[in-house]
Chains A and B, each alone.
Chain A
């Protein structure tokens, strides 16, 4: 009996701080490094404490669904609009006031403002500059399926939410048949090796182990910041008049339906959408601010054609994209 009490005490002692009652709890699928400083600024400005719990977005959605109204979460941050929209379709979130989110274009919000985007990310190509000549035929992302790239292409595994979001956009704009061919080509060219992380793709392209990779844009900037002389370069596919444009995705935030701290939660969203919040949230990771008029980080351009697909479609079209991925049998 006594031992069990001691154990209980220890458990409480070690884990109580996680559940202190007075702070906002955020389930976050975004890397802690890019969220924590912003939250600290928020706490400094408003005095509202914030507790972050980090995991993968999909796992968190599942968890919130299982927890139902027992959930401790007040807000949910994800790096993927698709995941946010799925949570919204499950009825996990509540609409955010138009007043707060109107600074963001409707394209970057969920249906009925069930969530709102915070920062944009683009699906681009990274190439090793030694092979620039050889790769000059790549004008579109679909050229990655070209047999010339056998064993030279680096892509993430298909459980990566950015990967799925990209495929969703391509499917919407180019149709099933072309997307299937594209996926089959990706599978062949990646020659049995799929990457866990975009950062590893950039690393391997820089080292010349692969010569071209499909990544989110900021991974390239992050790597170049650490290794300014690395022989890598960003390529923007699908430009020009007939090009479909670059697939975008947004990281965003939603307020839980069962939150008991609605006012504070709204305050946080408003802070993240303010100029100051936008600058911090996006610039920390070289992403694009969604609030108009806020400049991007130095050296990061957003001056290109973006695929014309509203972000909520990334959730609505996700199953379709997954069924194509499954048909080709990507893992």
Chain B
């Protein structure tokens, strides 16, 4: 009995092992091809790259990531603190509105912000004020000289002002990651530790710095890790705002040298190494941190009510953030969508774009879900060093920015197909996006599969089910919620994917992100606002899933 059980699992595992290996090999090949292609670059060109463009782009990217991290910390921690520790009117609505930016792709933010602050935009007065007064002011100059002293970075004033504004936009778009994680941590930490500290005679400030901050540090770090990775791999927003980082420079290089892939490949390689080392550092620090929080939620009587000036300022602060992060962008999209609809610009052609986007996203989500399953299954069953390695390698899309994945996969396609038809482009595109978002699928499935114990499978087999029946009637029903959320997560991200679409979509097969991109880089495209609206609406299910997860945790 025992023997056959072991044998049964050994067979099954080896079956999924083969598939897992195949998937991982397939996913890693694009990266290897990039490695190979960058090897084609002559030593002289490598040296040149190292002395001119690469360090500069690295520095620009690091600067941006640092500033965005700083700003998101300020925005995320302050709002999370206020909303967990104090009672507000309609606080649920406030929480939702502060999470909403996650539904808006960063390139939509960038596009909206350039229009809000353009000559005819709603905030043109603010832009003019900035241009006339702030940019020459001693405040900005002081900040700049402080920055120069801290970092040794010698920027001109206008460059510094550009950097600040780009960081602000990216921070407004991504601070909810920090907000959510810090809020969850704050919700779980009882005030008993604070009260103990107060009893020992600590004042409010030292309680904050010596009790709260250390407790929140893991949550902040986890949030910042996401924010920094997003900033490094962001393509659309930095391109539209014309602050070029490593990722957008790779795209430009590809557009310029599209007849010779060695240079873009070399740049990609450097970026991959950079993202990897960031992840390693982050893991290292996180592994030494421990969460010491109790499971009890805050007692209602511990949530205080603010009065007088503090209440006023708290409202101003949250209101200001909500205005710039949510209200103004969403209002602009709604107004422009209405205008577009009113002028009859939302015609059949628009619905074709919508269909195209959904079509691709559905296929990509399904492909990613199926491809990730053997990897996740093998890892949860075996849990060996080898299976963990496979799991990690399947996550390669996580550290590869969109343009890099697209270039890698098209290198692979070039090996397979001597000549491209529109179908081949479609295929290459789907594979690229699926590779990019495979980690979302495999991680969600892994955690779902952990709920299926081997004994459950054995029970099924003992009752006479075949391996396939077992899979269909025991495993799949148990992990279905996990599968659904994995599918939704991939679907949403695939729907918003921009760089691979720009590089690989078949001629004439426009999608919503591409329309928005064209609006931002060319002149008016009437369908851009409704396109953004569709993307935001489609993201709601994912947001809802995420919020539900936060609540139940």
Q: Which residues of A contact B (CB under 8 A)?
A: 7, 10-11, 14-15, 18, 27, 31, 33, 53, 55-56, 58-59, 61-63, 66-70, 72, 86, 150-151, 157-159, 164, 191-197, 199-200, 203, 207-209, 322, 326-331
Known: A33-B523, A158-B256. A196 touches B420 (CB 8 A): no
Kindly identify which residue among A10, A66, A195 contacts B420, using a CB–CB cutoff of 8 Å. A66
A327 near B48 (CB under 8 angstroms)?
A: yes
Could you show 11 A-B contacts with beta carbons less than 8 Å apart?
A: A15-B509, A66-B414, A66-B420, A150-B156, A157-B252, A158-B252, A159-B255, A192-B163, A193-B243, A195-B242, A331-B249
Please tell me if the beta carbons of A31 and B60 are within 8 angstroms of each other in the complex: no
| Contact residues in B for A199 (Cβ distance below 8 Å) | 523
Q: How far in angstroms is the closest Cβ of chain B from A202?
A: 12
> With A and B bound together, what is the CA distance between A331 and B267 in angstroms?
12
Q: Known: A191-B156, A193-B243. Contact between A67 and B419, CB under 8 A?
A: yes
- Bound CA span A328–B53, Å: 8
* A148 vs chain B, min Cβ distance (A): 13
A70–B507 Cα gap in the complex (Å)? 13
> In the complex the two chains form, is B249's CB within 8 Å of A56's CB?
no
Closest-by-CB residue of A relative to B418 is A68
Is B263 engaged at the interface, CB distance under 8 Å to the other chain? yes
B158 to chain A: closest CB distance in Å? 5
CA distance A59 to B258 in the complex (A): 7
Assembly CA distance A46 to B162 (angstroms): 52
Measured CB to CB, the residues of B under 8 A from A are 45, 48-49, 51-53, 56-57, 60, 118-119, 131, 155-159, 162-163, 239-240, 242-244, 249, 252-253, 255-259, 263, 352, 355-356, 359, 414, 418-422, 425, 503, 507-509, 521-523
Contact B507–A63 (Cβ < 8 Å): yes
A195 contacts which chain B residues (CB < 8 A)? 242
Rounded to whole angstroms, the CA-CA distance of A189 and B421 in the bound complex is 44
Instruction: Report chain B residues within 8 Å CB of A18.
Output: 507-509
Shortest CB–CB separation between residue B434 and chain A, in angstroms? 17
Since A151-B159, A191-B155 are in contact, a sample of 9 more A-B pairs with Cβ atoms closer than 8 Å, ordered by chain A residue number, is A59-B255, A61-B258, A66-B419, A67-B419, A67-B421, A192-B162, A192-B243, A199-B523, A207-B119
Contact status B263-A63, CB under 8 Å: no
Q: Are A329 and B259 in contact (CB under 8 A)?
A: no
Is there contact, CB below 8 Å, between B256 and A322? yes
Give chain B residues whose Cβ lies under 8 Å from the Cβ of A61: 258-259
Known: A58-B258, A329-B52. A69 touches B507 (CB 8 A): no
Q: Are A15 and B53 interface neighbours, CB within 8 A?
A: no
Question: Which residue in chain B gives the minimum CB-CB distance to A328?
Answer: B52
- Given A63-B420, A151-B157, are A331 and B244 neighbors across the interface (CB < 8 Å)? yes
Q: A55-B507, A62-B259 are in contact. Are A193 and B52 (CB under 8 A)?
A: no
CA distance A208 to B127 in the complex (A): 12
B158 pairs with A191, CB closer than 8 A: yes
Q: Compute how far the CA of A192 lies from the CA of B352 in the bound complex, rounded to whole angstroms.
A: 39
Complex Cα distance, B353 from A15, in Å, reads: 10
In the docked arrangement, what's the CA distance between A209 and B253, Å? Answer: 27
Residues of B near A157 (CB, < 8 A) are 244, 252
Complex-state Cα separation, A207 to B523, whole angstroms: 18
Interface contact A322-B257, CB-CB below 8 Å:
yes
| Chain B residues in 8 Å Cβ range of A14 | 352, 355-356
Residue from B131, B507, B509 having most chain A Cβ neighbours under 10 A: B507
Task: With both chains docked as a complex, state the minimum distance between the C-beta of A44 and any C-beta of chain B, in angstroms.
Answer: 22
Contacts of A66 in B (CB 8 A): 414, 419-420
Q: Known A31-B522, A157-B252, A209-B131; judge A70-B53 contact (CB<8 A).
A: no
Q: Would you list the 10 A-B pairs with minimal beta carbon distance, nearest first?
A: A329-B52, A66-B420, A329-B53, A159-B256, A68-B419, A151-B156, A159-B252, A53-B507, A192-B159, A18-B508
Q: Name which residue of chain A comes closest to B135, CB basis.
A: A209
Quick check: B57 and A331 within 8 Å, CB to CB?
yes
Instruction: List, in ascending order, chain B residues with CB within 8 A of A67's CB.
Output: 419-421
CA distance A160 to B60 in the complex (A): 21
The answer to whether B421 touches A70, judged by C-beta atoms less than 8 angstroms apart, is yes
Contacts of B119 in A (CB 8 A): 203, 207
Enumerate chain A residues within 8 angstroms of B257, measured Cβ to Cβ. Answer: 322
- In the complex, what residue of chain B is closest to A66 when comparing beta carbons? B420
A11 near B359 (CB under 8 angstroms)? yes
**Chain B residues with Cβ under 8 A from A191's Cβ?**
155-156, 158-159
Contact (Cβ within 8 A) A196 B521 = yes
Give Cα distance in the complex from A203 to B249, angstroms.
23
Closest chain A residue, CB of each to CB of B55: A329
Q: With a 10 A CB-CB cut-off, give which of B56, B240, B259 has the most chain A CB atoms.
A: B259
Select which of B131, B157, B255, B414 is within 8 A of A56 by beta carbon.
B255
Once the chains are docked, how many angstroms separate the CA of A326 from the CA of B256?
Answer: 11
Complex CA distance for A151 and B255, rounded to whole angstroms = 26
Assess whether B419 is in contact with A53, with CB atoms less than 8 Å apart: no
**For the complex, what is the distance from the CA of A330 to the CA of B249, rounded to whole Å?**
10
Contacts of A10 in B (CB 8 A): 355, 359
**Taking the nearest CB of chain B, how far is it from the CB of A215, in angstroms?**
15
- In the complex, the answer to whether A53 meets B508 with C-beta atoms within 8 Å is yes
Q: Which of B163, B359, B419, B523 touches A70 (beta carbons < 8 Å)?
A: B419
CB within 8 Å for A58 and B256 given contacts A11-B359, A151-B158: yes
Chain B residue nearest to A10 in the complex (CB): B355
| Most chain B beta carbons < 10 A, residue from A86, A159, A199 | A159
- CB contact under 8 A between A7 and B359, given known A58-B258, A326-B263: yes
A31 to B524, CA, bound (A): 12
* CA gap between A294 and B407 in the complex, in Å: 45
A61 CA to B157 CA in the complex, in Å? 40
Closest to A90 in B: B259
CA distance A66 to B45 in the complex (A): 27
Decide: B522 and A197 in contact? CB cutoff 8 A.
yes
Residues of B within 8 A of A62 (CB): 258-259
